Amino acid sequence: MNPNYLQTPIAYLKGVGPSRAQTLQSELGVYTYQDLLNLFPNRYLDKTQYYKISQLQRNSAEVQVIGKIIHLKEVGQKRGKRLVATFVDDTGKMELVWFRGQKWIKENIKLNVPYVIYGKTNWFNGTFSMPHPEMELLEDHKNGLKVSMQPIYPSSEKLTNKGITNKVTSKLLQQLFIDTKAQFAETLPVYLLKELKLIGKSDALLNIHFPKSQQDLAKAQFRLKFEELFYIQLQLIAKKMVRKNKIKGFPFNAVGTYFSDFYNNYLPFELTNAQKRVVKEIRADLGSNAQMNRLLQGDVGSGKTIVALMTMLLALDNGFQACLMAPTEILATQHYNGITELLQGLKIKVSLLTGSVKKSARRIIHEELESGELHILIGTHALLEDKVQYKNLGLAIIDEQHRFGVAQRAKLWRKNTMPPHILVMTATPIPRTLAMSLYGDLDISVIDELPPGRKPIKTVHRFDANRLKVFRFLKDEINIGRQVYVVYPLIKESEALDYKDLMDGYESIARDFPAPKYQISIVHGQMKPDDKEFEMQRFIKGETQIMVATTVIEVGVNVPNASVMIIESAERFGLSQLHQLRGRVGRGADQSYCILMTGHKLSEDAKTRLETMVRTNDGFEIAEVDLKLRGPGDIMGTQQSGVLNLKIADIVKDNDILQTARHYAIKILKEDPSLSHPNNNVVSQAYAQLVKHKNIWTYIS
């Protein structure tokens, strides 16, 4: 078959035409024969099994039963009538019910003749009933063409209104299989098919749309999922290899006085084993002549900043400058304060550049940066402005990567003749499955242990009815000199409502914690940056004991004396947000607490989130649960979910297939980086198409 045949516009398929073609395009994104072929069913109705009436369960499942109708009657109801049939087999009886089309049914139904019925069962008044069953005489059923597993395709109201029902979609696919004689080009090499016992491409497509049995369907799904994940991994790994071989980086060969002096004389504590391992991985990258592109994951408080600082010192030792970019002014300022404190006594010049730095101070920063007098620059997006020119930027560190787009990273590259080494840090633990798919082109380091002396935070869930007890506990903590956060949810759609919640909360706390004995800070998104900073500073200095805030404080506020985090309406937060907020406490040596406040009405998902928070402090375990609850698209936010516009694979449920696919992609590219070996012909062709179209399924058939 001519491979271009599948690029034929869908309007030309028998049974489609211009009007239907338009609806298929707008509703399902089906523009070509190819797109229709890759419209995989959501689920299947299993018609391979026949139930006895005595085997039926009260779970309103779709079932198939063989029996006879022995009696028909009309029953009056408020509006019109319903038709009820008594249906029996040798184990019991049930009712079949019709609310419309009764005349046709009455005229055509045969009594005491075996039928095969199919539909959803209901349990009512001690009897099973099936409304509007599909019915076929047993004799016809035996002789007919049996689709034993009936595919159910994605649909919408508009499709149904335009007459494109599930039956029609299925018919169109049957037509496509007739036109193509069900022959499709193979896209995986023979040796892979043999080694993994995969079925061929044509069989897989036939059995995904028209499976004869559960076994056939499982084989087809495995084959197509593997293929999808394999090509995504191949693309990511090839990208990584190109970067390592082609994009040269500055070789940092020296470990000089800055690094050694700091390590031996200024390091305030012994590094954990995880931190030592990560520093070693980074040093290997920096000395390799290739540009480093590494993702550093570590839970809140695991000590990423010290690793970042030691990496910067390696850049300085090799005669280069370094910069650190953070998503918010608060976080940038905090990095600046932390790093200047650690470097006290060392002759290293560090500056802070954010939107609120005055013009005169900026000018000095720009000059010192260009002359090389300034060693380390810390700041926000302001670092990306064209005016900011370095003498020789060797290392860029980006904190909380998911808040910066790829384009912004690229801007940092252009500051130099050769791109700087890049270290991306995140305190949002990314589950391994997602990291392999989204950041498969980055090397990944993980700090997976907390510094010694940190006590795990105790987390409890309390209902609003227990508020007085919770307030009593807060007073006890404040009396022994601790501080408290109270956080309210922020819901983008309605700032007015958020503000009202926050002010109501503030007033009720002010009533229970009256001045002058208690002092309260308040911080929210509608305040001016200076006012926010003023309130933050009061809390940091210990002048106020309670900080009432919206999620503004989610990232990076460090107050070791704050030991209690109360999260109001905790059911309205996502898991990763709850975990981030909890990480604001537990930064000192004292026992810290996180109290999740909710109403009594909770959805199942909300219960799972709260139970997970109470059960574990492990960010990676939390991220796995989050991924299962929300799916990959949501976790990464829209700007990156496009990478994972998966048609058939699910990176949570198909983690094992993903691991296998990655293993083979690495193996093939190691043995044959240019995919030029005859054995890899099909891979090379498929890969070329993939790069061209940016969408794996536009060519894979």
- Are 484 and 564 in contact, with CB atoms under 8 Å apart? yes
At 512 the pLDDT is 93
Q: What is the pLDDT of residue 201?
A: 94
In a domain, 673, yes or no: yes
Q: What confidence tens digit (pLDDT) does each residue in 194-237 have?
A: 999 999 999 999 999 998 888 889 999 999 999 999 998 898 88
Burial 245-267 (b: 16+ CB within 10 A, else e): eeeebbebeebeebbeebeeeee
Q: Hunting for tokens 């009936």 — which residue is that?
A: 150
- The pLDDT assigned to 628 comes to 78
Question: Which of 66-75, 146-155, 382-391, 395-404 has maximum average pLDDT?
Answer: 66-75
Q: Which of 50-59, 146-155, 597-606, 684-693 has the highest mean pLDDT?
A: 597-606
What is the H or E stretch that residue 571 is in?
none
Residue-wise pLDDT for 496-545, tens only, equals 666 777 888 889 899 999 989 999 998 887 788 788 888 888 998 999 99
Q: Please tell me whether residues 302 and 397 are part of one structural domain.
A: yes
Across the range 309-337, mean pLDDT stands at 91
CA 525 vs. chain centroid, Å, equals 26
Q: Using 50, 70 and 90 to split pLDDT, how confident is the model at 637? A: very low
Predicted confidence at residue 449, as pLDDT, reads: 80
Q: What is the pLDDT of residue 494?
A: 60
Same domain, 603 and 658: no
What is the reported pLDDT for 286? 92
Closest C-alpha to 19, from 127, 145, 168: 168
Q: Where is average pLDDT lowest: 218-222, 247-251, 362-366, 489-493?
A: 489-493
CB 421 within 8 A of CB 243: no
* Domain presence at residue 10: no
Average pLDDT over residues 611-631: 84
Tell me, yes or no, whether 645 lies in a domain: no
172 C-beta neighbours (distance < 10 Å), count? 23
Q: Quick one: average pLDDT of 73-90? A: 89
Determine the average pLDDT of the residues in 397-407: 66
Q: By the 8 A CB rule, do 442 and 239 touch?
A: no
Q: Which of 15-29, 132-146, 394-408, 670-684 has the lowest mean pLDDT?
A: 394-408
Task: Name the pLDDT band for 697 (thresholds 50, 70, 90).
Answer: low
Report if residue 172 sits inside a domain: no
For residue 552, what pLDDT band results from cuts at 50, 70 and 90? Answer: low
Residue 209 and residue 142 share a domain:
no
443 shares a domain with 303: yes
Residue 357 pLDDT more than 60? Answer: yes
Q: Are residues 536 and 601 in the same domain?
A: yes
- If one compares 559 and 539, the residue with the highest pLDDT of the two is 539
> What residues have CB less than 8 Å from 342, skipping those under 6 apart?
262, 266, 268, 306, 309
Does 476 lie in the same domain as 600? yes
Give the residue among 564, 553, 563 at the shortest CA–CA distance from 588. 563
The residue whose two tokens read 């929300």 is 630
- CATH number of the domain bearing residue 359: 3.40.50.300
How many CA atoms within 13 Å lie on the side-chain side of 623?
20
Q: Which pLDDT score, from 0 to 100, does residue 514 have?
A: 92
List, in order, residues 6 or more apart from 407 with CB less than 8 Å away.
none
By the 8 A CB rule, do 661 and 648 touch?
no
Q: Are residues 544 and 428 in the same domain?
A: no
- pLDDT computed for residue 3 by the predictor: 63
Greatest mean pLDDT among 383-397, 401-415, 602-616, 680-694: 602-616
The share of the chain scoring above pLDDT 70, in percent, equals: 89
Q: Are residues 438 and 367 in the same domain?
A: yes
How many CB atoms are located within 10 Å of the residue 109 CB?
16
pLDDT of residue 141: 82
The 92-98 sheet, strands edge to edge: 122-124, 127-131, 92-98, 81-89, 62-76, 115-120, 134-137
Cα gap 618→399, rounded to integer Å: 20
pLDDT at 386: 81
pLDDT of 189 reads 95
Q: Which of 581, 651, 652 is nearest to 613 (CA)?
A: 581
- Residue ending a domain, among 410, 428, 447, is 447
Q: Which one-letter DSSP state was computed for residue 262?
A: I
Place of tokens 């009933």: 129
Q: Of 25-34, 145-154, 425-434, 640-649, where does mean pLDDT reach its minimum?
A: 640-649
Among 305, 247, 318, 260, residue whose Cα is nearest residue 278: 305
Cα–Cα distance for residue pair 432/437, rounded to 1 Å = 9
Report residue 408's pLDDT band, with 50, 70 and 90 as the boundaries.
low
> Is the same domain home to 194 and 65?
no
278 & 366 share domain: yes
Sheet with 393-399: list strands edge to edge: 350-353, 376-379, 321-325, 393-399, 421-426, 293-298, 443-447
Domain count, the chain: 4
Would you say residue 571 lies in a domain? yes
- What pLDDT, in 10s, does the model give residues 295-317? 898 877 788 889 999 999 999 99
- 157 is a domain residue: no
Both 193 and 331 in one domain: the answer is no
Say what the pLDDT of residue 295 is: 87
Mean pLDDT of 678-692: 87
Portion of the chain with pLDDT greater than 90, in percent? 45
Q: Is pLDDT of 636 > 50?
A: no
Report how far residue 588's alpha carbon sits from residue 273's, in angstroms, rounded to the nearest whole number.
21
- Residue 601: give the domain boundaries: 458-616
Comparing 438 with 359, which gets the higher pLDDT? 359
pLDDT at 378: 96
Q: How far is CA 44 from the centre of its chain?
A: 26
Whether the pLDDT of residue 115 is over 60: the answer is yes
Q: Which residue, 447, 476, 499, sits at the end of a domain?
A: 447
In this structure, the chain runs to a length of: 701
**Can you give the pLDDT at residue 638?**
34
User: At 687, is the pLDDT very low, low, confident or very high (cuts 50, 70, 90)?
Assistant: confident
Helix/strand/coil (H/E/C) assignment for every residue in 294-341: EEEEECCCCCHHHHHHHHHHHHHHCCCEEEEECCCHHHHHHHHHHHHH
Residue 641 confidence (pLDDT): 37
What is the model's pLDDT at position 519?
94
Query: How confident is the model over 102-113, as pLDDT tens digits?
Result: 888 889 999 999
- What amino acid is encoded at 150 in this protein? Q
At 699 the pLDDT is 47
Whether 597 has a pLDDT exceeding 80, the answer reads yes
Residue 226 lies in a domain: yes
For the ranges 120-124, 273-277, 416-420, 567-571, which has the lowest average pLDDT? Answer: 416-420
pLDDT in tens, 156-175: 888 888 889 888 999 999 99
Q: Which pLDDT does position 635 carry in this prediction? A: 46
* Mean pLDDT estimate for the chain: 86
Give the separation between CA 344 and CA 353, rounded to whole angstroms. Answer: 20
pLDDT of residue 491: 56
Tokens, residue 548: 């009432």
pLDDT at 383 over 70: yes
Is 633 within the bounds of a domain? no
Claim to verify: residue 218 and residue 263 sit in the same structural domain: no
How far apart, in whole angstroms, are the C-alpha atoms of residue 496 and residue 165? 44
User: Which of 566, 601, 616 is the last residue in one of the domains?
Assistant: 616
